Chains A and B, each alone.
Chain A
Amino acid sequence: MMDVGRHPNIKLLTYSEVEEVSGYVGNFNVKVRKKARYVDENECNACAECFKVCPVAVPDEFQQGFSSRKAIYMQLPQAVPSSYIIDMEACLGNNPIACGKCLEVCDKKCIDYDMQDEMIDLKVGAIIVATGMDVYDPTELDEYGYRSFENVITSMEFERLICAGGPAQGHFIRPTDEKTPKTIGFIQCVGSRSEKRGNRYCSNICCMNTIKDTVLLNDHYPGIEMKVFYMDIRAFGKAFEDLFRRSKEAGVKYIRGLPGEVREDPKTRDLIVTVENTTTGEVEQHELDMLVLSIGVLPRQDGSGIQKLLTLSRTADGFFMESHPKLKPVDAPTKGVFLAGCAEFPKDVKDSVTQASAAAARAEIILNADKIKVEAITSMVDKEMCTACEICYRACPYKCIEVDRENKIPAQIIEAACAGCGTCGAECPFGAVTMRHFTDDQIIAQIEAILDEDPMEKTVVFACNWCSYQGADFAGISRLQYPPNQRIIRTMCSGRVDEDFVLYAFKLGAPIVLVSGCHFADCHYIDANRWTQKRVEKLWDKLEKMGVRPERLQLEWISAAEGQKFAKVMRELEEMRKKVTKEEVEFTKNALKDLKFKREKRKAKLQADKAKAEKVAV
């Protein structure tokens, strides 16, 4: 921690939040809000004179509420930067009648009640997301009595109680009578590995953390009786089994079974734990002085902010999704962004450090290059076809199109900023915009190849590169079986799916068409898939007016982690496909027989205009 504060190459921005990110790999522009701490962190020498005079007391979050802090405080004794901060919600303020005491005693004059938030602009080539985790709140598990019985604590509270820098200076005492307990129990998997409450996943660290706690207690208080209630002990890492053995050798009893009930003896405040020991099959009761709930790890509950800023995905569990679970475990799907620590999945200190070093090394590959290649998948405009209507500009999530409607200056793509979603191409009413490597011609050729034989047997599926296509991949990796009738056309974003493509598929006899993309918060092109939704809704109206059942065009949001959902959607589509009659397909084909692509219409118009002009000239 201290090394970070001292390192000449690290600019530390604490009490700060990232508010905006734009740009692309190698060239991100970032806006950070540095919130006012009301104490100049560079001047403050942590003399604590202010702390002594502050009359306010509020619960100390760092000590898990076991003790109190002042309104002017340090988050922890070893804080980096080593500076005080004022909690303005608790502070009585700079009213000489009310308070202002800290200001009076501060020799360095580093307190400023009027300090303002500061906005800082940064330019960076790579971003590492290490936003960490939250912990499970066991309140909902009534049977453990966390909120009812004071001597039931969480494993995070245990850490503060046993710490020399904690509220009891490291004397491990139970809250009700401040005596060192003689018997203590630990309940494992609190909020983890449960289908009903909490989370389904294993939180990875809790078994070893409890084992560590028992060894620590045995070191501090030899003879203390300890019981661990567990499902399985997962001691799989290097040196883990040794520590587990040490705990057992110290006499810790491991009882296989999670308690069904915890009661309190109102007189002694001791806890009576009822558990079915699944090894013996007997129901046992254990009287304990204290009980520690080994709580699980949660994804950051405020993670959606960073997710949107960096267009990341999250797994069904809520942790950030890596680019590939095996081969690119620290790359985020967004180029130039990397993941480290519990933001990606629960892990211990060693694994966090390992992953962080890996993320740093991956970032260095980019940062140590003077120049990098970027994919050539960007939009392009046919200037002649463009009417400068500005619709593409409105649709572009990056606003990387220059166009002047008033002066009829046709659209021009700022290629360095174009991320290549293709929404402009799909929205252009004149077919003037297309995308490199995902051109109209290429996609139309795919549609034709799908439907030139047995069209009635096939479903046309448009899948976006980042979510639904990867969802299909995940269904494959998971060997989820579904009917073989769908044919996938990959586009970078569902925003690329032009109405011409959908109508053309119906014209060629497609019974069912699916447009699929990322969930709204997950779109890799900010909010391009909102345009997909609008477009599909318009198409539903159009189909209905034509007398075509709108249900034949389906819209689904499938994330990269939703292999199950992809397979389910494929099965549902197949049921729908079977119900589509030959007659209605023929009817649709007939209704669309005069379908002309937008670009064809525009070309015809241009030619007609030209002919007219020539005629006038003659």
Chain B
Amino acid sequence: MADKKNPGKEDDLRIGVFVCECGLNIAGSLDCEEVRKYAETLPDVAVSVLNKYTCADPGQNEIKRYVKEYDLNRVVVSSCTPLMHEPTFRACVADVGLNPYLFEMVNLREHCSWVHLHDRKAATDKAKDMVKIGVARARHLEPQIEKTVPVTKAALVIGGGVAGIQASLDLADSGIQVYLVEKDPSIGGIMAALDKTYPTMDCSI
């Protein structure tokens, strides 16, 4: 049998659900405690916890504490969009030895509380359903190994206006090989066509 905290799906599932209030961003338009209680009733959920801000240090510390205390092997955070904090929480669970791919996120803020500001019951019902869907997915999560790949220490800068010039110089000064590609016969871009620039009133070139 695999490491207990990084099991294959045939192992016993112990899911922790963390419901974030996000101050009033989520708690303002739905009943987070009701969602938390509901989560407890879902299959394989070992513990369900309410946080004021799950992403803040106290919230993350709670995740770590419960993972250890309840020997959790899946973590579902019901808070905001994974595009923002998925890396945060993946790192958090990895800190306590859980494979980061055993983490799942439910987007209660962008996809529920913020778009249903005026119907608390409907928003709460939807949030419960969303947590249920997240837990259902979490039950099938599997650990993954992230491959490492070598990095070519060179950069391509497309465009030789003031932005491209500055980016190229900064990269080159830090020892990186830069290829600066400019469409026109000369670099300079729009900036080179300006006489003086504000607020310093000095030459552009």
User: Which residues from 314 to 361 on chain A have a C-beta closer than 8 Å to any C-beta of chain B?
Assistant: 324, 327, 338, 340-343, 348-349, 352-353, 355-357, 359-361
Minimum CB–CB distance from A181 to chain B (whole Å) comes to 17
User: Which residues from 8 to 36 on chain A have a C-beta closer than 8 Å to any C-beta of chain B?
Assistant: 8-18, 24, 26-28, 30, 32
Q: Does B56 contact A (CB under 8 A)?
A: no
Q: Indicate the member of B132, B151, B168 with the most A CB atoms within 10 Å.
A: B151
From the candidates A74, A216, A373, A487, name the one contacting B129 in the complex (CB within 8 A): A487
Give A542 to B178 CA distance when docked, in angstroms.
53
Q: Is the CB of A11 within 8 A of B201?
A: no
Residues of chain B lying within 8 A (CB to CB) of residue A17: 181, 183
Q: Does A179 contact B (CB under 8 A)?
A: no
Q: How many residues of A contact B (CB 8 A)?
A: 130
Minimum CB–CB distance from B60 to chain A (whole Å) comes to 17
| Contact status of A132 and B159, CB under 8 A, knowing A324-B83, A445-B136, A446-B133 | yes
Residues of chain B lying within 8 A (CB to CB) of residue A475: 110, 115
Task: Specify the main secondary structure of chain B where it touches its partner.
Answer: mixed
Q: Indicate the member of B166, B173, B184, B205 with the most A CB atoms within 10 Å.
A: B166
Q: Does B34 contact A (CB under 8 A)?
A: no
Q: Indicate the member of B107, B146, B155, B197 with the most A CB atoms within 10 Å.
A: B155
Give A254 to B160 CA distance when docked, in angstroms.
36
User: Which residues from 115 to 165 on chain B have a C-beta closer than 8 Å to any C-beta of chain A?
Assistant: 115-119, 122-123, 125-126, 129-130, 132-133, 135-137, 139-142, 144-165
Residues of chain B lying within 8 A (CB to CB) of residue A14: 160, 182, 184-187
Q: Is the CB of A473 within 8 A of B163?
A: no
From the candidates A28, A363, A436, name the one contacting B144 in the complex (CB within 8 A): A436
Q: Is the CB of A445 within 8 A of B111?
A: no
Q: Does A138 contact B (CB under 8 A)?
A: no
Q: Is the CB of A363 within 8 A of B151?
A: no
Residues of chain A lying within 8 A (CB to CB) of residue B180: 4, 10-13
Give A602 to B154 CA distance when docked, in angstroms.
47
Q: Is the CB of A125 within 8 A of B191?
A: no
Q: Is the CB of B186 within 8 A of A482?
A: no
Q: Does B8 contact A (CB under 8 A)?
A: no
Q: Does A293 contact B (CB under 8 A)?
A: no
Give A100 to B148 CA distance when docked, in angstroms.
57
Minimum CB–CB distance from A414 to chain B (whole Å) comes to 12
Residues of chain B lying within 8 A (CB to CB) of residue A215: 201
Residues of chain A lying within 8 A (CB to CB) of residue B139: 445
Q: Is the CB of B195 within 8 A of A216?
A: yes
Residues of chain B lying within 8 A (CB to CB) of residue A450: 129, 133
| Contact status of A481 and B118, CB under 8 A, knowing A12-B187, A209-B198, A364-B174 | yes
Q: Is the CB of A1 within 8 A of B192?
A: yes
From the candidates B101, B123, B183, name the one contacting A16 in the complex (CB within 8 A): B183
User: Which residues from 481 to 531 on chain A have a C-beta closer than 8 Å to any C-beta of chain B?
Assistant: 481-482, 484, 487-490
Q: Does A211 contact B (CB under 8 A)?
A: yes
| Contact status of A416 and B147, CB under 8 A, knowing A4-B180, A125-B155, A476-B115 | yes
Q: Is the CB of B164 within 8 A of A340?
A: yes
Q: Does A123 contact B (CB under 8 A)?
A: yes
Interface bits A216-249 vs B (CB < 8 Å: 1, else 0) = 1000000000000000000001111011000000
Q: Is the CB of B186 within 8 A of A356?
A: no
Minimum CB–CB distance from A482 to chain B (whole Å) comes to 6
Residues of chain A lying within 8 A (CB to CB) of residue B39: none
Residues of chain A lying within 8 A (CB to CB) of residue B172: 7-10
Q: Does B196 contact A (CB under 8 A)?
A: yes
Q: Is the CB of B185 within 8 A of A125?
A: no
Q: Does B59 contact A (CB under 8 A)?
A: no
Q: Does B188 contact A (CB under 8 A)?
A: yes
Closest to A41 in B: B185
Q: Is the CB of B152 within 8 A of A76?
A: no
Q: Is the CB of A9 within 8 A of B163?
A: no
Given A123-B152, A342-B161, output 8 extra A-B contacts at Cβ < 8 Å: A11-B180, A74-B186, A135-B190, A237-B199, A349-B204, A356-B167, A371-B151, A472-B110
A residues with CB within 8 A of B: 1, 3-5, 7-18, 24, 26-28, 30, 32, 37, 62, 64, 74-76, 78-81, 83, 85, 122-133, 135, 156, 159-160, 162-164, 166, 208-209, 211-212, 215-216, 237-240, 242-243, 306, 324, 327, 338, 340-343, 348-349, 352-353, 355-357, 359-361, 363-364, 366-377, 415-416, 436-437, 439, 441-442, 445-446, 448-450, 453, 458, 465, 469-470, 472-473, 475-477, 479-482, 484, 487-490, 567
Q: Closest 8 interchain pairs by CB? A: A341-B163, A476-B110, A376-B144, A79-B186, A449-B136, A360-B170, A356-B166, A130-B164
